[in-house]
Amino acid sequence: MIDIIIGGCSFTHNKDSWAKHLAKHYEKDSVSVTNVAQGGVGQEHIVRSCLVALQKSKNKKICIAQFSGFSRMEIIVDQKERPELYSSIKMDKGYLKTDKQQSDAHAGTKMSFAGLVEGRQWENHYNDSIILLRTTDIEGGLTWYQVKTTAGKTLDKYNQTVGLDQRKMLSYEHIASLQWYCKLNDIPLFCFWGWDEYNMDPHNKEVVNASRDLVDWDNFWFHEGAGGMAEWMIAQGHHGCLDEDDINDPPKGWRFDLVKGKKMMIGHPTPEAHKDFCDQIIVPWVKERLLND
């Protein structure tokens, strides 16, 4: 029996992601696929989830980690530790950002705190007493929370306190930790970015680059130098989900980025793009590892 432990953000957690296709590919084999990815999370959550799952598995295993935005951080709000903050966040109705999200959320009875339902998906299980607050990508201006809500205010203050250099150092250190753990335990590891993020120069290059140099970039898959899964998909003619494209009319699922001089995906990849990525990139790598075993 081989356990495949998969970590990532929504690019891996979403129900039609490459991880689901991989599980389907191996459903008749003695291979178990455990997907511990979670929407909106950063490297800290991704690596911790992988490490805990790898430690738990007693079988032979391999690990596939999709990494996400540098600036993403998560705050654990535990009802036992922070009862007032917890209940204040839980009581907020304006948790989701757009009117459409809110009306969709309120349409379902169990979705009265829609965002919180996902917010309470924590460490690969649902826990009603814990909320996972996520900054998501502050560099791109993407926030999940309305500014005036308790969640929004809490994250806004935190975002103002923790700078990008520190977030980048933490990001690199987490990736390096997963690589060291896997090397020390002879666990084959496949790492890649979900997408090629805007990578602004750090304020203190010397210190941030020292953290960057901890990562074994030879053990990291790139599409054409710096690209991730989304760039590979775009290059194969795929695009993002059209219902997430609020920029183009009619929606295209991509935009042309003048700074980078290339097409960039809007929103999450389509199920077709995920299947193609799984078939062409992930499955061949897994097959090789299984043959080597």
Partner 1 sequence: MTSIITTGCSFTHDPDSWANILQDKISNNHNVYNCADGGVGQEYIVRSALLKLQQTQGPKICIAQFSGFWRLEFNVYKDENMLFDKVITESPDWEHSRTWYNNELTEDNFFILKTTDIGHKWWSNRPTIKKTLESVDQTIGPDQRLCWTYENILKLQLYCKHNNIPLFCFWGWGDCRPTRKDEILDNHINANDYPLASKVYNLVDWNNFWFHTDKGGMADWMIDHGHTGKLEEDHTNNPPKGYHEYDGKKSMIGHPTSTAHEDFCDQIIVPWVNNVLQ
User: Judged by CB, which is closer to partner 1: 58, or 80?
Assistant: 80
181-200: which residues touch partner 1 (CB under 8 A)? 181, 183-184
The least distance separating partner 1 from the CB of residue 191, rounded to whole angstroms, comes to 16
Instruction: Name the residue among 149, 214, 158, 189 with its Cα closest to residue 67.
Output: 189
207 is an interface residue for partner 1 by CB under 8 A: yes
When binding is defined by CB under 8 A, the residue of 27, 213, 243, 288 that contacts partner 1 is 213
Phi-psi region of 124 (alpha: psi -120 to 50; beta: other; left: phi over 0): left
Closer of 17 and 71 to partner 1 (Cβ): 71
User: What does the alpha-carbon distance between residue 89 and residue 151 come to, in Å, rounded to a whole number?
Assistant: 6
Q: According to CB under 8 A, which one of 204, 236, 248, 280 is a site residue for partner 1? A: 204
Site residue total, partner 1 (CB under 8 A) = 42
Per CB under 8 A, 83 contacts partner 1: no
Q: Which of 93, 100, 157, 205 binds partner 1 (CB under 8 A)?
A: 157
Paired sense of beta strands 2-7 and 31-35, if any:
parallel
Among the listed residues 179, 163, 176, the one whose alpha carbon sits nearest the alpha carbon of residue 212: 176
CB under 8 A: which stretch of 33-41, 47-55, 141-149, 222-230 binds partner 1? 47-55
Q: Which of 126, 180, 198, 217 binds partner 1 (CB under 8 A)?
A: 180
HSE toward the beta carbon, residue 76, CA cutoff 13 A = 10
- Interface region with partner 1, contact rule CB under 8 A, candidates 12-20, 79-87, 252-260, 276-284: 79-87
Question: Angle 41-232-243 (CA atoms, 0-180°, nearest 5)?
Answer: 60
Listed in sequence order, the DSSP H helices in the chain are 10-13, 18-25, 43-56, 83-91, 99-107, 114-119, 150-161, 164-184, 205-212, 229-235, 271-277, 283-292
User: C-beta of 130: minimal distance to partner 1 in Å?
Assistant: 7
DSSP 113-151: THHHHHHTEETTEE-TTEEEEE---TTTT--SS-TTSHH
Residues between 113 and 132 that touch partner 1 (CB under 8 A): 123, 127, 130
Interacting residue ranges for partner 1, rule: CB under 8 A: 48, 51-52, 55, 75-78, 80-82, 85, 123, 127, 130, 154, 157-158, 160-166, 169-170, 173, 176-177, 180-181, 183-184, 203-204, 206-207, 210-211, 213-214
